[in-house]
Structure 1
Amino acid sequence: MTDRNTQAEIIRQSLKRRYRKERRFRAYGILAIAIALSALVVLFVDIIGKGHTAFIKTTVTLEVDIDPEMMYLDDATDERQLRMADFVEPLVQALLREVPGATEANRDAVRDLLNPYASNQLRDALKENPELLGTTQTMTFLTHTNVDVYVKHAGDEDYSIKLSDRQQAWVDQLLDKGVIETSFNDVLFSRGDSRDPSRAGILGAIVGSLLTMFVTLILSFPIGVAAAIYLEEFAPQNRFTDFIEVNINNLAAVPSIIFGLLGLAVFINLFGMPRSVPLVGGLVLTLMTLPTIIISSRAAIKSVPPSIREAAEGIGASKMQVVLHHVLPLALPGMLTGSIIGMAQALGETAPLLLIGMVAFIVDVPDGFLDSATVLPVQVFLWAGSPELAFIERASAAIMVLLAFLISMNALAIWLRKRLERRW
């Protein structure tokens, strides 16, 4: 009886130890998930904290006297006179009337409150509508970047305020009067890059990314699916196909910068294609995403039950008909999911595009596949390396937009998988 009790006690102690190990293992898993979620929270809080102000712009609204004598302009339709006219003076005079206590002796300090490109805005308005010459117009201009930083970051130790005490007092007074206001920064989504942070936008990078992704999609998806169908359904099992399969799996793990070197050597140096264009960028990203699409497409084809093939062949369907009419439609949801994930990976790539010249400073929004362009990740890279802190908040805002694209694409992949997949 004693031996039986002793044996039962040993079993109970063994079970207790096993249960403790299971609880510890479960606790380690929960801790790992908590650490990962905490890291994500810290990342998003940091990005949003630095970038949310980039969605706000600071503007000044002035009553501008478009005086011909002040601008030395007689005919607003004369291109030569427009090039030689003084479009700064009307803006300075309008701002002097609004700034309390400012005189002609302070004109340089007052002029520094305006964006350097404000005169171009006045010139373009007059060029578009010559009838404005000799009239007084209410116009809204962007403020200088230093004013924008002061309005949005006054008191923030991470930002150095470059306005003098007198200029800061003027800005505070103009804010109280409503002459200087803040509003949603539509410039961020309506312009390309600029040397001036307050005028810098991501439209050019967004269009460049869309053009590059379009080239990548129309090339990588059909080629990847066709390669997967051939390898899985038609290719004979021999050393050659084994060699291809091994290399496809290896290519999926190759660093992306290698594909950039390949694109530089082949597409640019060998074929003489232009640098920094969406076509070359799309070709490079196609090479990078093909292994991912092929692997995911083969996995989707393998998931189709053999009974589907056997039933189709039993009623006389050819091999091609079995694949195109039965296997491919059932495997398509998995193929689409893998392709979208591969495209999302390509959208966030920077290294291969840097090597083909898409790191260039591009102001204009591209109109086609052969126009010079940049992409969102490269735009973030450029702004993050800028010495001006005003560009850092725009880099963070561009990251937020890029993350929104990536999350949307992954959400689409998940929705397609849930919506279209079939369980056997």
Structure 2
Amino acid sequence: MTDMASLMEDRAAAKVISDKVQKPVDWDSPKIARNIKKRYAAERRFKIYGLSAIGVALLALFVLAFSIGSKGYTAFFQTYVQLEINFDPAEIDPNGTGDPAVIGKANFDDLIKKALLARFPDVTDRRDKRDLYGVVSGGASYDLRERVMENPNLIGQTRKIWLISGDDFDMLNKGYIDANVDEGSRRLNDKEIGWYDALVSDGAVEKKFHSRFFTSGDSREPELAGIWGAAVGSFYTLLVTLFLSFPIGVLAAVYLEEFAPKNRFTTIVEVNINNLAAVPSIVFGLLGLEVYLNVMHLPRSAPVVGGLTLALMTLPTIIIASRAAIKAVPPSIRQAALGLGASPVQTVTHHVLPLAMPGILTGTIIGMAQALGETAPLLMIGMVAFIVDIPGGALDPATVLPVQIYLWADSPERAFVEKTSAAIMVLLAFLILMNGLAVYLRKKFERKW
């Protein structure tokens, strides 16, 4: 009887619950209306929070881009000074032989000094002369030498030649030096300001596109420094990195995803690969310093060493991205290939890899873009050296764009500030281009399953 009573009570309770559940909902009730209003308000707040976050991010990006661009765009232009140069045969080719070896050894710097003194004959003091010679860059004599070597007919003539100015006069012409402040508070004295004003009044000062910035290597003189040496060094470094990390990374991803047995060993390998992706880059620099330089005795500050070091850093990124792309290929593709008689290797090489290649390339390009912007590991292996010559191969001494930016940022001259910002702009352009290429490849070759 007790069991029967308990059963009846349970049925009664179930009926009450069923009646409550089946009771129709009054959608017009104030309570339901308040709940719906709260949900819509929460949704609007969530959208506002998301849009605000995006706005803050875009604002920060704009401020960063404007700060760099406003300081760096002037580096793409350089001040030139026009002087009347007398290509004196007694100075350039005394014997009139026309021998390039003789012309190449001529003192073209003296020709520029004579032209400056002829333009400002009242300058007689030794200190004033030294300041006057700073109107023109020390590298202008090399430009004159190249001009005469290309056209020996200039010897014996007097021509008005545009010569690259010194860095201080360039900064004055660009407005970075205020001529109205006290003389002790600026790098140029009143006499130098007067010489500049005299040249401007004669129309002998002009800003021109600074092609040397893109075609020359580093220099102690800001007006002569360029990024081409660092760009070539970055190219060779990334080339070595790509040739090593791409095939090794893809093969490792294929083995782990398609052929490796699921046991303790492969689990340990996978965990370590994921951990390596989060290791600070300077640790790879220490590893490269010890293995490649101290043990293998490879050339210091060479792109081959930088490429080997960056390959170690890039490998985990490529392996993880490649595994994700391979895993995204539907199992039906593998089953169909195996069902038609293809071997496991043929299935992977003929079907899985081609379909996963867009994702693999995307991960590889992102990894290479990360390697392009790295500085810390390259500092550890000595690629911070001052390199003037353009590297001719992966074994020649070189530097890379991030390290070049680091070197210029540490220089005391004001003119290197704009060089630093301009080099950052070039580096960001390369990074945006590489990431844009990754997005394009993913969109172009992406398959919908």
- 1:11-410 paired onto structure 2 within 5 Å: 11-69=32-90, 73-74=94-95, 77=99, 83=105, 86-99=107-120, 102-104=122-124, 107-126=129-148, 132-154=154-176, 161-410=186-435
Deviating above 6 A after TM superposition, structure 1's stretches of 4 or more consecutive aligned residues are 4-7
Give how far 1:139 is off: 2.8
Residues in 2 aligned to 1:403 and 1:30: alpha-carbon distance in whole angstroms: 25
Partner AA of 2:74 in structure 1: T
Deviation at 1:119, TM superposition (A): 2.8
Contact 1:77 1:130 survives alignment (8 Å) = no
Identity of aligned residues (%): 56
Residue 161 of structure 2 aligns with an amino acid whose one-letter code is M
2:93–2:102 CA contact under 8 A, matched in 1: no
- 1-structure distance, mates of 2:427, 2:207: 25
Q: Secondary structure at the match of 2:29?
A: helix
Cα pair 1:64 1:91 within 8 Å, conserved: yes
The alignment partner of 1:183 has SS state of: strand
Which amino acid in the other structure matches residue 296 of structure 1? A
Query: Can you list the C-alpha shifts for 1:118-156, whole angstroms capped at 9, x where unaligned?
Result: 233334545566554433244332111110000002566
Distance 2:178 2:242 in 1: 44
Q: Classify 1:162/1:312 alpha carbon distance in 2 versus 1 (closer, same or farther; 3 Å).
A: same
The change in CA–CA distance for 1:312 and 1:388 in structure 2 (over 3 A counts) is same
AA at the equivalent of 1:241: T
Give the direction of change, closer, same or farther, for the CA distance of 1:345–1:8 in structure 2 (3 Å limit). Answer: same
Alpha-carbon distance, 1:69 to partner: 4.5
2 CA distance for matches of 1:280 and 1:28?
A: 47
Distance in 2 (alpha carbons) for counterparts of 1:264 and 1:92: 48
- How many corresponding residue pairs? 418
In the alignment, the residues of structure 2 paired with residue 71 and residue 327 of structure 1 have an alpha-carbon distance, to the nearest angstrom, of 69
TM-score (norm 2): 0.87
TM-score by length of 1: 0.92
Query: Matched residue of 1:153: which SS?
Result: coil
Of stretches 145-154 and 35-44 in structure 1, the one that deviates more from structure 2 is 145-154
Evaluate the alpha carbon distance shift between residue 307 and residue 17 of structure 1 in structure 2; reply closer, same or farther with a 3 A threshold: same
Question: 2:29 is aligned with what amino acid?
Answer: A
Distance in 2 (alpha carbons) for counterparts of 1:78 and 1:209: 35
Distance in 1, Cα, partners of 2:337 & 2:138: 72
Q: Which moved more, 1:304-313 or 1:70-79?
A: 70-79
Aligned-pair CA distance for 1:202: 0.3
Query: Does the 8 Å CA contact 1:384/1:391 hold for their aligned counterparts?
Result: yes
Answer yes or no: is the 8 Å Cα contact 2:167–2:221 preserved in 1.
yes
CA distance in 2, matches of 1:272, 1:116: 38
Paired residue for 1:418? 443
| Equivalent-residue separation in structure 2 for 1:6 and 1:301 (angstroms) | 50
User: Using the alignment, how far apart are the partners of 1:247 and 1:305 within structure 2?
Assistant: 27
Matched residues in 2 for 1:321 and 1:69: separation?
Answer: 77
Q: Which range moved further: 135-144 or 5-14?
A: 5-14
3-state SS of paired residue (2:425): helix
> Which residue identity lines up with residue 415 of structure 1 in the other structure?
Y
Runs of at least 5 residues in structure 2 that lack an aligned partner in the other structure: 1-24
Residue 274 of structure 2 aligns with an amino acid whose one-letter code is N
Within 2, Cα distance between the matches of 1:392 and 1:320? Answer: 55
In the alignment, the residues of structure 2 paired with residue 5 and residue 79 of structure 1 have an alpha-carbon distance, to the nearest angstrom, of 102
